[in-house]
A = this chain, B = another copy of it.
Amino acid sequence: MLTTAEGGAEPRVVISLSAVVVAIDEDKPLVMTVRQTGGPDALPYGPFDPADHRTFELGVRDFVERQTGLALGYVEQLYTFGDRGREAPSARLHGGAAEDRVVSVGYLALVRRADDLSAAGAAWRNWYGFFPWEDWRKGEPAAIAEALLPGLVAWRDRAASAHEGADRTRRIRVAFGLDDGGWREERTLDRYELMYEAGLAPEAARDRAAAGLPAPRGKAAPPGLGGLELASDHRRILATAMSRLRGKVKYRPIIFDACEERFTLTDLQRAVEAVCGFALHKPNFRRMALASGLVSDTGDTRAQTGGRPAALFTFQSEARGAVPPALGLAVPRLGVSPEAGGLKLS
């Protein structure tokens, strides 16, 4: 036998569920936040009650719907965060005893419309308010070259050893795509982790203070540079959600869960651009969308476009499991199956 649970009087484990609820309004990617008394805003979160909820996902749907009246559409688990060190503020947030270990399970959820939430003490916020450097739709944000990279380089130069310095250089290069492949929008999480470690995120100083550690060397981060603050490790969870969504949008038809039932191709493109944070080539996007088989023309049009009326499409949900044709196999398959599977389901 490899192991047995020891049991006994260990510190309790408390599970907290956090949700990154995303909606898209025109060209704005929105994330739901809740107001906290005496602290920064937070993602909606709630304790996981094992007696109440059969699964985490039901727990997430339940507490979001009960508290905001919002029924979630697409829901997927993101990651489970269990690091000590980010826990001190968390434990307080969740009202647990200091020695309890708070494990937070993060979820990503999409909804089709950004309904008003002010009655529930919640609000929709543009997610680029939290990560201003992630929005390249109007070109490269000036703050990257003017403030972020200098701050990161300074952190690199504070490295304790040559080896650590080289590693920091490599990480910065990869995260920001400095001389190889260029900007990769789905590395949002890597970039945030760097900002946090470098002390450029407001949470970093806060967490160190809460843990009784001294302020980091180097000058303090200019306020506002690192983006708006969120409670606990919620900005990290948001960065995880953005990374996941930006990656997934390319190979799964997930964006339709954040669009209205009927949409124009421009709507669709705006939604993808909002999520990915860069502008797309319109004729090519349209060609790809039509060729994918994921959308079907309703025959209706929408006139209020300011120009020629646009055709309204719907998501071809029978193709829900399908991947857009450009999955991009880096794995050149050998031609095994011209006829797929052989047997058909009646």
Contact = CB atoms under 8 A, between A and B. Distances in A.
Contacts of A334: 278-281
A174 interface: yes
Contacts of A6: 47, 49
Given A13-B14, A285-B332, A184 B139 contact: no
Interface string A320-345: 11111111111111101100111111
Contacts of A250: 328-331
Chain copies in complex: 2
A284 interface: yes
Interface stretch (A74-82, A210-218, A259-267, A305-313): A74-82
Given A46-B3, A328-B328, A321 B170 contact: yes
A344 B145 contact: no
A17 to B, nearest CB: 10
Nearest to A106: B80
A133 B281 CA distance: 41
A153 interface: yes
A85 B63 CA distance: 21
Interface stretch (A93-101, A195-203, A222-230): A93-101
A253 B210 CA distance: 38
A145 B15 contact: no
Given A13-B50, A51-B10, A180 B322 contact: yes
Contacts of A1: 34-37, 121
A299 interface: no
Contacts of A4: 95
Contact of A342 (B63, B140, B288): B140
Interface in A1-22: 1-7, 10-16
A295 to B, nearest CB: 13
Interface in A203-244: none
B330 A328 contact: yes
Contacts of A279: 333-334, 336
A161 interface: no
B288 A183 contact: no
Nearest to A35: B1
Nearest to A47: B5
Interface string A47-71: 1111100111000000100011000
A182 interface: yes
Contact of A329 (B82, B326, B332): B326
A319 interface: yes
5 contacts: A2-B121, A3-B45, A144-B343, A149-B343, A183-B341
Interface of A: 1-7, 10-16, 34-37, 44-51, 54-56, 63, 67-68, 77, 79-80, 82-85, 94-96, 101, 103, 105, 120-122, 136, 139-140, 144-145, 149, 153, 156, 169-184, 249-251, 272, 276, 278-281, 284-285, 288, 292, 318-334, 336-337, 340-346
